[in-house]
Amino acid sequence: MSSSETSSAPTEKQPTTILCIGMAGSGKTTLMQRLNADLHAKKTPPYILNLDPAVSSLPFTANIDIRDTVNYKEVMKQYNLGPNGGILTSLNLFTTKFDQVLKFVDKRAGSVDHILVDTPGQIEIFTWSASGAIITDTLAATYPTVVAYIIDTPRTTSPATFMSNMLYACSILYKTKLPFILVFNKTDVVSHSFAVDWMTDFESFQQALQQDATYMSSLMNSMSLVLDEFYSHLKVVGVSAVTGEGIDDFFEAVKAATKEYETEYKPEIERLIQEKASQHIQEKEEQHRQQQLSKLMNDMKVSKGTEVPLDSGSKRMEDEQWEEEDEEEYENEDEDDEGEETDDEQENTLLGASRFPPSSSQQQNDAKFKAWLNQANESSMN
């Protein structure tokens, strides 16, 4: 299913899709619950999609739940898979029905402001699988879509872990090519100010690195230069899914990211869709042209009688091999074929006159006529 083939949302009102992506246990589901509660309190309830087939219980009611479509444990049993293979296969099975899912979302799209999407804990299953890409691209082609990359702040305080997490976020940004919000979660445990410091002040991250005397620090030193550019494209917020702290900042960031989607990402997505569509049209036109051509060749074959072996000519046209050498060969073939009944003739539905010899009475009449003509000639000569 390509994104260009999906149904389109109403143009008047477009809800923003928030894809919650993050490492296992970073707090995606808890944050979804918090966002859901906050939006309900503001009387703008969201539309919720749960794409995690392995979650045992959800703290919110999802409008569409992958678990209603596929039974993750059954999938593991049936396909003899481990937990990750089971999640991936479940997601693949669900993706085959995603056009129907989108129809449901479309119906509600006019009356909601946000579509919240929870993803599986095994981050790579969503971000690096074909089905994850299909779901992301399909949503992004239909609604303004932003990625909320959830980070477990207390577990990111060491420079090495911070760097790894940032590199992962960077890879997802380049993979999804969507507006990106870095969400430092669990700020009730540890404030995210150290992270903001490291991201905005290059020197301060260098200082933190210097405390790490291992050989890794020099590698990280050079990598941090690369990440400097990456940071400039991000929106950063600190939240606590448990206490609700920073949720307003989060929605502000979502608003800004939606604008960014409209101005920067949408034109690019539309250009790609058009490119695909025109490629599709070109392929269709070429197919049609080939069909017409072979129809024409068939018609010519039918009307050729028994003399002209057009079929071999048509093959030449298709192969575009009208070289002199070939032409000679072609003429020779014609000569060789004379007087012989070729396969083409047998296939020909308009049979040649030689297939209908004169009847015996006709032959007798012809003989009488010839004899009379000979007689007449002889008498006129005498």
Ligand X SMILES: Nc1nc2c(ncn2[C@@H]2O[C@H](COP(=O)(O)OP(=O)(O)OP(=O)(O)O)[C@@H](O)[C@H]2O)c(=O)[nH]1
* Residues forming the site for ligand X (CB under 6 A): 22, 24-30, 52, 121, 185-186, 188-189, 240-242
* 189 contact, one of ligand X, Mg ion, none, CB 5-8 Å limit per kind: ligand X
Is 33 a binding residue for Mg ion by CB under 5 A? The answer is no
Which residues pair with residue 149 across a beta bridge?
21, 182
Q: DSSP secondary structure string, 4-30?
A: GGSPPPPSS--PEEEEEEESTTSSHHH
- 6, 14, 17, 29: which one binds Mg ion (CB under 5 A): 29
Say how far residue 327 (Cα) sits from the centre of its chain. 46
Q: What minimum distance in Å lies between the beta carbon of 260 and ligand X?
A: 25
8 Å CB contact between 31 and 185: yes
Only one of the segments 20-28, 238-246, 254-262, 290-298 lies at the binding site for Mg ion (rule: CB under 5 A); that segment is 20-28
Provide the β-strand partners of residue 151. 184
Beta bridge partners of 238: 184
Residues 6+ apart with CB under 8 A from 212: 159, 160, 220
**What's the CA gap between 380 and 105, in Å, rounded?**
102
In the list Mg ion, ligand X, none, the entry touching 26 (Cβ below 5 to 8 angstroms by class) is: ligand X
What's the min distance (Å) between Cβ of 151 and Mg ion?
Answer: 14
**Residue nearer to Mg ion on the CB measure, 122 or 204:** 122
Give the integer Cα–Cα distance in Å for 214 and 221. Answer: 12
Nearer to ligand X, 121 or 309 (CB): 121
Q: Which does 188 bind (CB under 5 to 8 A by kind): Mg ion, ligand X, none?
A: ligand X
Residue 119 CB, shortest distance to Mg ion, in Å, is: 8
Query: Which residue number, 124 or 337, has a Cβ lying nearer to ligand X?
Result: 124
CA Rg value for the chain:
37
- CA 131, 132, 133, 138 torsion-angle sign: positive
Q: Which of the stretches 24-32, 143-151, 213-221, 260-268 binds Mg ion when contact is defined by CB under 5 A?
A: 24-32
Question: Binding partner of residue 129 among ligand X, Mg ion, none, CB under 5 to 8 Å per kind?
Answer: none
Please, which residue, 14 or 119, has the CB nearer to Mg ion?
Answer: 119
How many residues at the interface with Mg ion, by CB under 5 A? Answer: 2
What does the alpha-carbon distance between residue 78 and residue 89 come to, in Å, rounded to a whole number? 11
Cα–Cα distance between 18 and 115 in angstroms, integer?
6
Nearer to ligand X, 85 or 154 (CB): 154
Which segment (22-30, 40-48, 220-228, 364-372) binds Mg ion by CB under 5 A?
Answer: 22-30
Which does residue 272 bind out of ligand X, Mg ion, none, counting CB within 5 to 8 angstroms by kind?
Answer: none
Q: How far is the CB of 121 from Mg ion (least distance, A)?
A: 5
Q: Smallest distance, Å, CB 120 to Mg ion? A: 8
β-pair partners for 64: 49
Instruction: Write down the least CB distance from residue 32 to ligand X, Å.
Output: 8
Query: Which residues lie closer than 8 Å to 47 by C-beta, 6 or more apart?
Result: 15, 63, 105, 108, 109, 112, 114, 115, 116
- CB nearer to ligand X: give 55 or 105: 55
**Selected range binding Mg ion among 29-37, 90-98, 159-167, 366-374, rule: CB under 5 A:** 29-37
**Min. distance of Cβ 137 from ligand X in angstroms?**
23
Measured on CA atoms in the order 185, 188, 193, 194, is the torsion positive or negative?
negative
Q: 82 and 125 in contact (C-beta within 8 Å)?
A: no
Q: Which of the choices ligand X, Mg ion, none does residue 308 contact, using the CB cut-off of 5 to 8 A by kind?
A: none
Residues making contact with Mg ion (CB under 5 A):
28-29
